[in-house]
Amino acid sequence: MAVTGMNHFTILTDDLEATLAFYAEHLNLKPGARPPFKFPGAWLYADDGRGKDPILHIVAGKRKQDLVKGVIDHMAFSGTDLRRTVSILKAKKMDYELRRQVGSGTWQLFFLDPNDAKIEIDYDPSEPAPA
């Protein structure tokens, strides 16, 4: 299993506009391209929204009581060798979720670390599907 870099972080919010304003003001992150998900949110980029890769994903529409201060929803990494990674997870009898991202076709593999922190590893759409 090879991780090649950090991809993005995702945060949850009950107030998308205030969150966008905060990250624009304090980190100069701007909304940019985002697949047509069925839930509200935004992807924030450096370089006034023209950057190649989003730095921060925001998932909106959460209830205030569902937001836990100081907890990151998940960490995402870019990876290689999807088939091998899935075979390792299966061999260890670890639960996982594998899906293709709407629009881009990127493979997204989700599983939990020993502390129940959610990990996402994103794979190039050209990677073959696991058995």
**DSSP characters over 59-113:** E----GGG--TT--SEEEEEEE-HHHHHHHHHHTT---EEEEPTTT--EEEEEE-
CATH number of the domain enclosing 8: 3.10.180.10
Domain count, the chain: 1
pTM, to two decimals = 0.68
CA distances from 5 to 59, 113, 120 (A): 22, 17, 12
- For residue 130, being part of any structural domain is answered with no
- For residue 74, being part of any structural domain is answered with yes
Q: 86 near 109, Cβ under 8 Å?
A: yes
> Which pLDDT tens digit goes with each residue over 44-55?
998 765 667 888
Top pLDDT among 39 and 2 is at 39
The strand pairing partners of 59, in sequence order, are 12, 41
- For residue 30, being part of any structural domain is answered with yes
- For residue 131, being part of any structural domain is answered with no
Average pLDDT, the chain: 87
Query: Does the pLDDT of residue 7 top 90, yes or no?
Result: no
> Which pLDDT tens digit goes with each residue over 63-105?
888 877 666 778 788 889 999 999 999 999 999 999 999 999 9
